[in-house]
Structure 1
C-alpha cells in the first residue's frame, strides 16, 4: 500500500508589493505618492512608493500601456480598495492628486463622510475609497 501521507507544505506568504503598469511612470508614481503619502524612489523603469501601512507600490514603465475602459468597456485589469474614515476629505485628496471620479458620482453627495466612490488613477487604473 502506498504512503498517502502528505509532506508539510505550509509556507508563510505575505504581500510585499503591488505593481502597476503605466505609460508615464512619473505622473502615475507622483499621483500615488500624493494620495498615500510616504516616499518615492525612482529608477529609469520603476518608481517605488513606500507609504506607512501599505506594501510597496511599484509603478512600472510600460510604454504600450493602454488604460482600461472600465466600467463601460474592457476589464479593469486591477482594482484597489482603500479604507478611509472621511469620504469627503479622501475624495478631495484623490481628485487634487489627479484622480478622476468614475462612479457613483451622484450616489454619494460630495460632502458625505460615509459611503464609497470609484476613481481612476492618471493611467486609468480603477480604485475605490470606502468608509470603514
Structure 2
C-alpha cells in the first residue's frame, strides 16, 4: 500500500515532568538551542527541529532494562566514545550499561537522560589499513 499523505516534517518527542532539564540536556547533546513554549520545548539544530519535549506532569521514567518498560530510545553514533561519554554525563545523563567488548573496535553504552529515557552512544573504530 502506498502512502497518500506526504510527511513534510518529523520530530521525536520526549515526555518529561521537567521541561527545562530535559530540553537543555538534548540541546547540549545535539549542539542546539531551545525554543521554549509553556508546555512544549523544541530543540533546534541549524534552524531545524531535531527533538521536542512535551510536558507530562505524571511521566513515569522507564527503568531499563527491568521495571517500567522502555518507550523509545535513540542510537547516536559518535566518533570518540570517551569524549561523548564525558559530555553526556556532564549534561546530566546516567550510565546504565556499557557494552564495549562485543567486537573489536565497536560497541555501545546505554544512558538515561534527565527524564529517564534510555539512549545509546554507539561507535565503530575503522582500521587504519582499510
- Bin for the TM-score computed over the shorter chain: 0.7 to 0.9
Question: What is the total number of aligned residue pairs between the two structures?
Answer: 121
Match of 2:33 in 1: 39
SS in 1 for 2:52: strand
Are the aligned partners of 2:61 and 2:68 in contact in 1 as well (CA < 8 Å)? no
Does residue 68 of the first structure (1) align with residue 62 of the second (2)?
A: yes
Mark the CA change 1:8 to 1:18 in structure 2 (over 3 Å): closer, same or farther.
closer
CA displacement 1:53-83 (0-9 Å, x = unmatched): x753110000000101111222111111101
- Quote the Cα distance in structure 2 between the aligned partners of 1:103 and 1:29: 23
- Quote the Cα distance in structure 2 between the aligned partners of 1:91 and 1:50: 22
Does residue 131 of the first structure (1) align with residue 120 of the second (2)?
A: no
> Higher Cα Rg: structure 1 or 2?
1
Of 65, 74, 82, which aligns to 1:88?
Answer: 82
CA displacement 1:18-38 (0-9 Å, x = unmatched): 110000001111111111111
Mark the CA change 1:64 to 1:114 in structure 2 (over 3 Å): closer, same or farther.
same
Mark the CA change 1:118 to 1:8 in structure 2 (over 3 Å): closer, same or farther.
closer
- Compute the TM-score of the two structures, normalised by the length of structure 2: 0.81
- What is the aligned-residue RMSD (CA, Å)? 2.5
Ranges of 4+ aligned residues in structure 1 off by more than 3 Å = 7-15
Match of 1:98 in 2: 92
Mark the CA change 1:102 to 1:9 in structure 2 (over 3 Å): closer, same or farther.
closer
Match of 1:122 in 2: 114
- Compute the TM-score of the two structures, normalised by the length of structure 1: 0.80
